[in-house]
Structure 1
């Protein structure tokens, strides 16, 4: 969250092209360059406060057969109720609602 605060400051945002180039292999996005430019202009003109939320899915450790290794491997088996909640939170945000409303 500190990184987001720093990179959305006007001094940094105006140099977004060089920042994007330097971080090219760090992340992937489906946003076009025009969409990124529009988002940056919005940030500079409106200076909105972004709300960040963190949520982690849970699970239990287990040793299961791993086809890739040809032997048993230590794996995390996800708790499907936490996976569903994460999906519901993402769906809420994509629909323009708050993820906090998801129980």
Structure 2
């Protein structure tokens, strides 16, 4: 989520939000699951993390000496990795129910 106002009130899954979310964090409303960059959590508990193959890691590191697999990133159209801002992962404690 790029902005806190973009957080859907009826979503019960895990969402990645900017670290600035902590400025508006409400413990009664949201549970903090973890933070981006924690490889142990990502590899053992995160269901949406797929680490890049060693060859891809080497390619990204050759193109950008500061690139690290533990930093959150997206792939550009040309296949190059671009590091994004630090994220924390949250979940609604009591998501609104969707009406049929």
Q: Which range, TM-score by smaller chain?
A: under 0.3
Greater relative contact order (Cα < 8 A, sep 6+): 2
> Under a length normalisation based on structure 2, what TM-score does the superposition of the two structures give?
0.23
Structure 1 or 2: more strand by fraction:
2
> Under a length normalisation based on structure 1, what TM-score does the superposition of the two structures give?
0.23
Structure 1 or 2: more helix by fraction:
1
